């Protein structure tokens, strides 16, 4: 996965606010268990047996349960008539305890100023699907100069394309739709890609049939014929496998792009009050295993922001069901596997076919669309050529929802998923509402997923847990073009973690998460980094696995400022965690002034491939990736200890000059000048040196590097503990 793909989450933040009149302030969107807010808001649409909205319910008609436990409703708002008056005014307009005025929606005034907002999203459509989706959207927008609602248009293909910001300018919206209709970008899964895959599969199947037929015919010359055919079959099979391998990478990329883009859109909408709608035109979304946790994070973010997602299968009326396609794929794969066995391929291709079949059975692309809609209180529309009823339903839902607030009886921020159920005490009515949330405090504008939620919950424990040793550090590398580059390193010893024998009695499993987040001076989360580790291995190697060490490394970028860094390692099987806190200051910079990175004591180095992604990082020197020492003592038997830092000298000046100092109890013990090579093409000077330990007594020292250039001076230091 390339970094360019994963940087989508910030691409549409400029769309964050709909321009409303000054007297209509935009309150923060309804968040679940946000900092200082203990209320949960649920928007629910109620319909009768004929599918018509029910508008006359009162608070007494509705029951809310969380994890099966009835909750006390603290605020209640009914649907609005076209004139802005409430269908059923609540007797009391007092918000629920802990609900801010912007969140309460308890009276008419809040609902009266809430704009109706719809985001139209076109995801990876075939030419026919695009035509059908654009036609439906154009009908919804109409031909007036001003649209009834605020509308924005987005395209998701190889990237997220914000085509028009939220506006009521009908001309601008129609122009954006026309650009999508006339778009010739091939994107993923283009007709050309589909033909290439189909041709490769047909060629491989035909070649393998030739091998099996020649072998069955027998007779003179059979061996030579089989040999020639086998070579052709092997080449054809290799071509097909290459195409399939790229297809697997393609699926992962599509999944990452779709989830990142949808989260960016949801994150934009969270700033607005009330219920918001996202309409996704798609022929299916790929969510492979690597992307699934991020997909669940999108659902949680949508629920927190009161965003209901409606999915429309733009493929229209399907002659054959997706299940039939899955059946044919499985059967075809089995047949190809038998044919391949004749060519002496040792069953490798057959195994890969079974893996592909498993993926297909687990990842029905239309089912993913349905899940996205169902769990956010929206609706999925599929298997229909006439898409107008879909927009009629979306429009109706926007104007006919109840907004219900309650304070959970379970006030613990334990990271668990809380199921929400909204019931109506009248018979024959159906309710559409979001299904739940993760009980974590202040997720900020960043998504969370099921593996991160328990780790975030550990931050709420008093005192914070310290079940096993971990080390964490943030380094500063103000590189050209990335002055706020902050590499993050977390070390986890595996011995205290849980390693269980698997049910097959042949392997072991381990399941833990590393999470790091940065909070600014206002205690707002500005960056979050995490990795879920689900490790499997042979049972015979379990003791070796318990003696290992996991190094989590990520690169983040932060604006100049002071940040709190929170690090959590959570062991899922035992439920135990360890938390570390530290402070990181990213200094302000000037591109043409002298700058310096952190001073790093080096633990070890590992060769990497030059010119690869791993060979270009801030901790890579001459093809060697350096692992920083995060506080481990250094033995005198090592004779020397390596250290490293990078310089970014000012332009047009002589130097710089470097002095290395070692201090103990504030007093200099050693001073050594360090030669400085010329700067590289990127303006960076990498300084790698060794400090002699022979004359030093055991103890704690301060290692300092002082850099001077003209009238400027910068210094960095780190602690060094020496033992016998």
CB 664 within 8 A of CB 702: yes
Q: Could you read off the pLDDT of 194-221 as tens digits, one per residue?
A: 555 555 556 556 655 554 555 555 555 4
Dihedral, CA of residue 366, residue 370, residue 376 and residue 379, to nearest 10: 120
Q: 148 lies in a domain?
A: no
Q: 508 lies in which domain range?
A: 467-589
314-373 residue pLDDT tens:
887 654 444 444 444 434 433 333 332 223 333 344 334 434 444 443 457 788 899 999
Cα-Cα-Cα-Cα torsion 380, 385, 388, 392, nearest 10 degrees, comes to: -30
Q: State the helix-helix crossing angle for 365-374 and 322-342, rounded to 10 degrees.
A: 140
Tally of structural domains, the chain = 3
Q: How far apart are CA 480 and CA 592, in angstroms?
A: 10
100-104, 194-198, 320-324, 709-713: segment of lowest average pLDDT:
100-104
The token pair at 603 is 């633990």
CATH number for the domain harbouring residue 502: 2.60.40.3880
86-90, 621-625, 680-684: the lowest-pLDDT one? 86-90
Which ranges in 66-153 belong to alpha helices (H)?
101-104, 108-112, 127-141
Rounded to two decimals, the pTM is 0.69
Residue 695 lies in a domain: yes
DSSP letters, 457-495, are HHTTSSSPPB-S-EEEEE----BTTBTTEEEEEEEEEST
Residue 34: what pLDDT? Answer: 38
Q: Mark whether 615 and 670 lie in a shared domain.
A: yes
Q: Give the CB-side neighbour count of residue 96, counting CA atoms within 13 A.
A: 23
Percent of the chain residues topping a pLDDT of 70: 72
Helix (H, G, I), strand (E, B) or coil at 500: strand
Please give the average per-residue pLDDT across 24-43, as a whole number: 50
**How many Å is the Cα radius of gyration of the chain?**
30
Whether residue 222 is preceded by a cis peptide bond, meaning omega within 30 degrees of 0, is no
Q: Which of 3, 5, 532, 529 is nearest to 254 (CA)?
A: 5
Looking at the structure, do residues 523 and 597 belong to the same domain, yes or no? no
Question: Which CATH number covers residue 663?
Answer: 2.60.40.10
Looking at the structure, do residues 639 and 516 belong to the same domain, yes or no?
no
Query: Does one domain contain both 524 and 567?
Result: yes
**CA dist 462 → 413, 415, 576, 579, 691 (Å):** 12, 15, 14, 11, 42
Alpha helices in 37-160 (DSSP H): 101-104, 108-112, 127-141
Helix (H, G, I), strand (E, B) or coil at 667: strand
Which ranges in 526-627 belong to alpha helices (H)? 542-545
More confident residue, 160 or 358: 160
Whether residues 500 and 597 fall in one domain: no
> What's the pLDDT score for residue 13?
29
The pair of structure tokens assigned to 582 is: 């530290």
695 and 602, same structural domain? yes
Domain membership of residue 543 (yes or no) is yes
Q: Give the pLDDT confidence of 457-486 residue by residue, as tens digits.
A: 999 899 999 999 999 999 999 998 899 999
The answer to whether residue 622 is domain-embedded is yes
Cα→Cα distances 614→2, 159, 621, 623, 624, Å: 12, 24, 11, 9, 10
Is the preceding omega at residue 656 within 30 degrees of 0, hence cis?
A: yes
- Contact between residue 351 and residue 165 where contact means Cβ atoms under 8 Å apart: no
pLDDT of 93 over the 80 cut: no
**Average pLDDT of the chain to the nearest whole number:** 78
Tell me the C-alpha to C-alpha distance, in Å, between residue 613 and each of 1, 275, 608, 609, 618: 11, 43, 9, 9, 11
- Please check whether residues 472 and 581 belong to one and the same domain: yes
Q: What is the mean pLDDT of residues 57-80?
A: 93
Q: Do residues 684 and 566 touch, judged by C-beta distance below 8 A?
A: no
189 has a pLDDT exceeding 70: no
Token pair for residue 42?
Answer: 């649920």
Of 183 and 78, the structure prediction assigns the larger pLDDT to 78
Q: Are 645 and 663 in contact, with CB atoms under 8 Å apart?
A: no
Residue 566 forms part of a structural domain: yes
Whether 667 is covered by a domain: the verdict is: yes
Residue 700 · residue 664 · CB < 8 Å: yes
Tell me, yes or no, whether 584 and 599 share the same domain. Answer: no
Lookup result for tokens 């999508």: 180
The mean pLDDT value for 680-689 works out to 92
Q: Assess contact for 583 and 563: CB atoms under 8 A.
A: yes
Inter-residue contact 409 to 399 (CB < 8 Å): no
pLDDT of 398 > 60? The answer is yes
Residue 307 in any domain: the answer is no
Strand pairing report for 507-519 and 525-538? antiparallel
DSSP-assigned states of every residue in 93-106: -PPPTT--HHHH--
Q: Is the pLDDT of residue 620 over 80?
A: yes
Average pLDDT value for residue range 556-560 = 94
- Asked if 425 and 515 sit in the same domain, the reply is no
- Domain match, 700 and 625 both: yes
Question: Is 35:441 a contact under the CB 8 Å cutoff?
Answer: yes
686 vs 95, more confident: 686
Reported as half-sphere exposure (CB side, CA atoms, 13 A), residue 422 has a value of 30
23 within some domain: no
What pLDDT band is residue 383 in, cutting at 50, 70 and 90?
confident
Query: Can you tell me the mean pLDDT for 276-294?
Result: 87
Same domain, 599 and 584: no
Shared domain for 597 and 705, answered yes or no, is: yes
Please answer whether residues 299 and 436 qualify as being in contact, where contact means their C-beta atoms are separated by less than 8 angstroms: no
């Amino acid at each position: 996965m390339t970094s360019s793909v994963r940087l989508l989450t910030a691409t549409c933040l400029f769309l964050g606010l709909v321009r409303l009149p000054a007297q209509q302030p935009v309150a923060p969107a309804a968040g679940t268990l946000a900092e200082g807010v203990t209320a949960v808001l649920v928007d629910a649409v109620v319909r009768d047996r004929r599918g018509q909205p029910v508008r006359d319910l009162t608070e007494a008609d509705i029951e809310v349960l969380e994890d099966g436990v009835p909750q006390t409703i603290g605020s209640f708002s009914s649907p609005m008539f076209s004139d802005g008056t409430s269908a059923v005014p609540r007797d009391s307009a007092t918000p629920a305890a802990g609900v801010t005025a912007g969140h309460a929606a308890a009276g008419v005034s809040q609902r009266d100023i809430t704009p109706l907002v719809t985001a139209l999203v076109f995801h990876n459509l075939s030419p026919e699907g695009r035509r059908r989706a654009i036609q439906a959207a154009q009908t919804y927008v109409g031909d007036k100069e001003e649209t009834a609602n605020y509308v924005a248009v987005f395209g998701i293909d190889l990237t997220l394309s914000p085509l028009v910001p939220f506006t009521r300018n009908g001309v601008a919206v129609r122009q954006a739709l026309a650009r999508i209709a006339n778009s010739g970008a091939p994107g993923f899964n283009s007709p050309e890609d589909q033909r290439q895959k189909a041709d490769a599969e047909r060629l491989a199947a035909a070649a393998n049939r030739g091998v099996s037929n020649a072998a069955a015919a027998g007779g003179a010359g059979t061996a030579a014929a089989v040999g020639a055919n086998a070579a052709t079959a092997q080449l054809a099979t290799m071509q097909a496998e290459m195409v399939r391998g790229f297809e697997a990478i393609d699926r992962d990329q599509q999944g990452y792009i779709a989830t990142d883009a949808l989260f960016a859109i949801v994150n934009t909408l969270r700033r607005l009050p009330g219920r918001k709608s996202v309409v996704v035109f798609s022929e299916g979304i790929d969510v492979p295993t690597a992307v699934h946790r991020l997909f669940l994070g999108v659902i949680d973010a949508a629920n927190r922001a009161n965003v209901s997602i409606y999915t429309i299968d733009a493929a229209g009326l399907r002659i054959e069901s997706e299940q039939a396609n899955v059946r044919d794929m499985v059967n075809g794969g089995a047949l190809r596997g038998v044919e391949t066995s004749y060519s002496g391929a040792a069953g490798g291709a057959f195994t890969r076919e079974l893996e592909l079949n498993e993926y297909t059975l687990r990842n029905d692309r239309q089912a993913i669309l349905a899940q996205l809609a169902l769990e956010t209180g929206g609706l999925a529309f599929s298997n229909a050529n006439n898409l107008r009823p879909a927009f009629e339903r979306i429009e109706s839902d926007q104007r006919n929802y109840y907004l219900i607030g309650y304070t959970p009886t379970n006030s613990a921020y334990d990271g668990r998923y809380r199921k929400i159920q909204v019931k109506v005490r009248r018979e024959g009515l159906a309710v559409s509402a979001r299904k739940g949330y993760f009980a974590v405090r202040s997720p900020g504008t960043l998504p969370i997923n099921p593996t991160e939620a328990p780790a975030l919950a550990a931050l709420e424990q008093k005192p914070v847990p310290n079940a096993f040793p971990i080390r964490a550090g943030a380094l500063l590398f103000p590189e050209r073009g990335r002055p706020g580059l902050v590499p993050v390193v977390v070390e986890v010893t595996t011995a205290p973690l849980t390693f269980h024998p698997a049910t097959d009695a042949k392997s072991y499993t381990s399941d833990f998460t590393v999470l790091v987040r940065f909070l600014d001076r206002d205690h707002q989360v500005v960056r979050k980094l995490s990795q879920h580790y689900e490790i499997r291995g042979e049972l015979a190697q379990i003791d070796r696995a318990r003696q290992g060490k996991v190094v989590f490394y990520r690169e983040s970028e932060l604006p100049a400022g002071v940040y709190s860094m929170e690090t959590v390692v959570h062991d899922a099987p035992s439920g135990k965690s360890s938390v570390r806190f530290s402070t990181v200051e990213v200094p302000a910079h000037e591109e043409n002034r002298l700058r310096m990175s952190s001073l790093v004591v080096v633990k070890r180095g590992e060769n990497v491939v030059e010119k690869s992604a791993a060979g270009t990082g801030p901790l890579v020197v001459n093809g060697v990736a350096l692992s920083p020492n995060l506080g481990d003592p250094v033995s005198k038997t090592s004779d020397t200890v390596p250290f490293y830092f990078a310089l970014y000298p000012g332009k047009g000046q002589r130097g710089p000059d470097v002095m290395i100092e070692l201090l103990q109890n504030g007093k200099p013990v050693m001073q050594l000048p360090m030669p400085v090579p010329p700067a590289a093409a990127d303006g960076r000077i990498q300084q790698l040196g060794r400090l002699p330990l022979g004359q030093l007594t055991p103890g704690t020292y301060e290692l300092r590097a002082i850099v001077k250039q003209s009238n400027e001076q910068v210094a960095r230091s780190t602690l060094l503990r020496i033992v016998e």
